[in-house]
Structures are given as C-alpha cells and as structure tokens.
Amino acid sequence: MALIVQKYGGTSVGTVERIEAVADKIVRFRDNGDDIVVVVSAMSGETNRLVAMAQSIMDYPTPREMDVLLSTGEQVTIALLSMALEKRGYGARSFTGGQVKILTCDTHTKARIREIDGSRIHAQLEQGNVVVVAGFQGIDENGNITTLGRGGSDTTAVALAAALEADECQIYTDVKGVYTTDPRVVEDARLLSSITFEEMLELASLGAKVLQIRSVEFAGKYKVPLRVLSSFEEGPGTLISLEGDTNMEDPAIAGIAFERDEAKLTIAGVPDVPGIAYKVLGPVSDAGIEVDVIVQNAAADGTNDITFTVKRGESERAKGILDKIQASVGAREVVLDKKIGKVSLVGVGMRSHAGIAAKMFKALFDENINIQLITTSEIKISVVIEEKYLELAVRTLHSAFELGDPDYEKESVE
C-alpha cells in the first residue's frame, strides 16, 4: 500500500465525461489499496477565459483580485471530481488550497509555497477518503487567496507529495510523458523513459511547459519521485530521475525546448565605460522585470550596444524604462523587437561532447536561419532567432541531432 499524489491537468478534466474517467482511474488505485491525494487543474481553457474577462475590464487587473478570480477554476473541478468518486461509492473530500493550509508568500499571481500543514489531509486519508485538492492556489499569512503562476498545479502536487512524504507523485497530462521536444511540433518526437532532474529543470525553464519549473525544483529539493504520464493511455510515462549520475555514454542532447514568449530590447550607442551595463539594467531589474539573455557588443567607435530579452508581456514596460534613461546614458536609440523566439538544446552529455554548438549553428545555417543572440551553460545552448522560423528551427535541430523516434513510422501505420 502506497501513498500516491496524482495531478490531473486541464485537458484531463476538460469535460464532465473526462472527470468521470479520472474518477474511474482513481478508483482502480483505491481498489489496489493505495491512499490517494488528487490535485486537479481547472477545466482546460477556463483559466484563460477568466484572464480574458479580467482584461476586458482593465489592462493590468489588480493582482489580489486576479487571484480571487483565477482560483475559482480549480474549485469547480475539485467539487465535480469528489462527486464523481462519491457516485462510485468511494469516500472523497474536496479542499481549496486555503482549507489545507498551503501557505504562500504574498506575491499575488506568482506566489511561492512556504509551508503545507498536512494534518487535515492525513486525517481524511485515515478515514479512508480520497483527498481532492485544488491546484495552483494557496493562502498568504493574512488569509488572502494567492496563485502560483500559470501551470502551478504541478507545483501544488509535488509540494504536497513532499509535505506528505508520498511514495510517488504522478503528473497525468495529455501526452504520454516527457518527449525529446513538444510532440505537437515535432511528430516523431521520442518519448523518454527517464530524464535527469537537471535536464528537466533546464527544459522547464527554457519553455517546455509539460512541467512547471517550480515543481521540478521541489522534486529535486525534497527528493520526490516524480513521473509524467498520460491520463488517456496506459503506459509507464517518464521518470524524472534524481540520481544525477551522468557518464560519458549519455547522449549529448536529451531534448529541445523553445519559447515564444520573449521580446528583445536593444539600447544602442551607449558609451563604452565602466558601469554602463549597471546603469541600463539596474532600473529594469528594480522594476521587477526579469531579464533573460544579455549581450553587450563594443563597436570600433568606442560605443556599446546592449541587447537583452524579457518576457513579452513586460517588454513595453521595459522599453518605457529605457526610453526614460536614454538621454542620461547618452544612447543613440532604443529598439524593441517582439517577433523573436528562443530555441535551446539541453543535455547533461553536452559536457563531454565537443562540437555541439558548431553542429547546431551549421544546421540552422543550412536552413538560412539567422542567429541573433547566443547563450550557453554547461548543459544547454540557446539561440534567439526570428519568431517565424521557430518551429522550423526546432524540427531542423531535432533531426540534425537524430532525436527522432526510430519506430515512429511503424507505429503510425499500424
């Protein structure tokens, strides 16, 4: 008998029929004698619908009220799933984040979990009930509802698994597990039976939305055995392995991630003197805007161009800050380009394989894709390119590094 935390994403609970199917799945685990804590997302499209309604009232809705609004989506699914379990003759109790004391900081819309009091959940499990918890939400120390950022139900699940010392955390979603890249973009993407925690962390932070990055961080910190599986098909899914042992035999590349949600800012012709990067980027970071890739280029005439990327939704605000400092730092111009995309190769095996970057650049050159910015770490290489080439770049790199599933063709004709 095991204690398992299961999370079902938006598509998996997208209709009442699907919620009933999830209940059938949970019942099979209960019949097996396992204790089950379930975390659910809002029905697919619901969170977007709520965001759109808020934005039709104001461009930048008040974060506190946004959280009150967004948390309602998950409240619907916990109740419906609990009813479906009760209908099947199984005890079930639904709880909002606040009711099971998922205590977070007070940064509305991107709160971080500080503490979880598992006592109420344990008491329910002891009574033989399935515990159904609303994902994505918590409560701050003043009792305000908070949310954990888009995709945050993954984090609720892993954090609960850590707090309850569960035997496994299972993330059920609409694909069979973690693939070499998004299977919706590359048809022959290969399902990975396991991936290292380090690689998963990079993929998640570089745009692979299959797991929210905070959930991977929690899994690593608290050593939670984490698996991604399909809620629609049987299969072992992908294990996020925590061993962290890597060796020379590891393939160079585990996967490819990509992101459309960034924009590029350039402040051109600033003087090439000490302190200039600080004068430009300091005010941007003071405004709470996260900066990603940064490149500084010195020209022969003694000036610099500083280029960096930020989230697209924050790019206008970042441009406003640069426009304000343009005169005082002596810049020639400020340019914002929203039509960019970032593609990243990730793999712990990169450390021991030379020439990965050259191979990547050649493959992109062969398709005539211009690289605007490059950034690397020990286990990743990212390039910023024109947005319209993003999917082409992902497919090109996926085949250049031979990441495709050799059985793909065979499976599709069967």
**How far is the C-alpha of 389 from the C-alpha of 214, rounded, in Å?**
29
Binding of residue 152 to ligand ASP (CB under 6 A): yes
# chain residues binding ligand ASP, by CB under 6 A: 13
The DSSP output letter for 192 is P
**What residue 118 binds from ligand ADP, Mg ion, ligand ASP, none (CB within 5 to 8 A, per partner kind)?**
none
Binding of residue 221 to ligand ADP (CB under 6 A): no
Which residue's Cβ lies closest to ligand ADP?
A: 9
From candidates 110, 112, 122, 209, binder to ligand ADP by CB under 6 A: 209
* Nearest C-alpha neighbor of 176 from the set 391, 406, 405: 405
190 contacts 247 by C-beta, under 8 angstroms: no
* Closest distance to ligand ADP from the beta carbon of 9 (Å): 2
Residue 127 CB partners (closer than 8 Å, separation 6+): 91
From candidates 11, 77, 266, 303, binder to ligand ADP by CB under 6 A: 11
Binding of residue 151 to Mg ion (CB under 5 A): yes
What residue has token string 């009091």? 117
Binding of residue 9 to ligand ADP (CB under 6 A): yes
Nearer to Mg ion, 151 or 220 (CB): 151
* Nearest C-alpha neighbor of 377 from the set 305, 265, 293: 293
Over the window 99 to 138, marking each residue x when it contacts Mg ion by CB under 5 A and - when it does not, the resulting string is ----------------------------------------
Is beta strand 262-271 parallel, antiparallel or unpaired with respect to 291-298? unpaired
Nearer to ligand ASP, 3 or 76 (CB): 76
**What residue 22 binds from ligand ASP, ligand ADP, Mg ion, none (CB within 5 to 8 A, per partner kind)?**
none
Over the window 138 to 177, marking each residue x when it contacts ligand ADP by CB under 6 A and - when it does not, the resulting string is -------------x---------------------xxx--
* Closest distance to ligand ADP from the beta carbon of 148 (Å): 13
From candidates 11, 71, 129, 153, binder to ligand ASP by CB under 6 A: 153
Residues 132-151 that bind ligand ASP (CB under 6 A): 135-136, 150-151
Q: How far is CA 108 from CA 12, 67, 91, 104, in A?
A: 26, 7, 33, 10
Binding of residue 42 to ligand ASP (CB under 6 A): yes
From candidates 35, 74, 182, 259, binder to ligand ADP by CB under 6 A: 182
Strand partners, 335: 266
Structure tokens at 148: 């954990």
Residues 345-404 that bind ligand ADP (CB under 6 A): none
* Nearest C-alpha neighbor of 261 from the set 380, 395, 150: 150
What residue has token string 């606040």? 98
* Closest distance to ligand ADP from the beta carbon of 324 (Å): 37
Binding of residue 136 to ligand ADP (CB under 6 A): no
From candidates 14, 61, 73, 118, binder to ligand ASP by CB under 6 A: 73
Nearer to ligand ADP, 131 or 203 (CB): 203
310 contacts 280 by C-beta, under 8 angstroms: no
Helix axes 213-221, 197-205, angle to 10 degrees: 160
DSSP notation for 64-89 = HHHHHHHHHHHHHHHHHHHHHHHHTT
Nearer to Mg ion, 229 or 360 (CB): 229
**What residue 341 binds from ligand ASP, Mg ion, ligand ADP, none (CB within 5 to 8 A, per partner kind)?**
none
Is beta strand 238-241 parallel, antiparallel or unpaired with respect to 194-196? parallel
**What residue 42 binds from Mg ion, ligand ADP, ligand ASP, none (CB within 5 to 8 A, per partner kind)?**
ligand ASP
**How far is the C-alpha of 220 from the C-alpha of 16, rounded, in Å?**
34
Nearer to ligand ADP, 95 or 172 (CB): 172
**How far is the C-alpha of 161 from the C-alpha of 226, rounded, in Å?**
9
**How far is the C-alpha of 86 from the C-alpha of 129, rounded, in Å?**
10
Handedness of CA 201, 374, 265, 259 (dihedral sign): negative
Residue 55 CB partners (closer than 8 Å, separation 6+): 61
Residue 156, exposed/middle/buried by CB under 10 A (0-12, 13-18, 19+)? Answer: buried
Tell me which residues touch Mg ion (CB under 5 A).
Answer: 9, 151
Tell me which residues touch ligand ASP (CB under 6 A).
Answer: 9-10, 41-42, 47, 73, 135-136, 150-154
Tell me which residues touch ligand ADP (CB under 6 A).
Answer: 9-12, 41, 151, 173-175, 178-179, 181-184, 208-210, 255
